[in-house]
Amino acid sequence: MSLVRTEGLRGYWELVTELGGDAHALLAAALEDPENFVPYTAVKRLLEKTAHSLDCPDFGLRLSQRQDLRDSGNRRAGNRRGGAASIHGR
């Protein structure tokens, strides 16, 4: 199973809030455990559901504009740092 670091969601909480959405509800519905590494498919579903619920088809692009290359990355194994604080932008 391919895993993605939660740092790849940096800025998610703030952007969803700015667009009038409920970031907590969207995250809870899409990610069982938003700590450290999550399945790529769960992140994909989260971004699709968020874009649809906010009627914001360019949500992924907007989120990427808040990040840099250090925030992305697909991992199969590795250290366990980051976690939910990255999603919240802390």
pTM given for the model: 0.68
Structure confidence by residue, pLDDT tens digits, 35-51: 668 888 988 999 999 99
Q: Produce one character per residue of 6-19: b if its CB has 16 or more CB atoms within 10 Å, e if not.
A: bbbbbbbbebbeeb
Residue 28 tokens read as 């809870």
Confidence of residue 52 (pLDDT cuts 50, 70, 90): very high
Would you say residue 56 has pLDDT above 90? Answer: yes
Would you say residue 87 has pLDDT above 80? Answer: no
Residue 70 tokens read as 């250090």
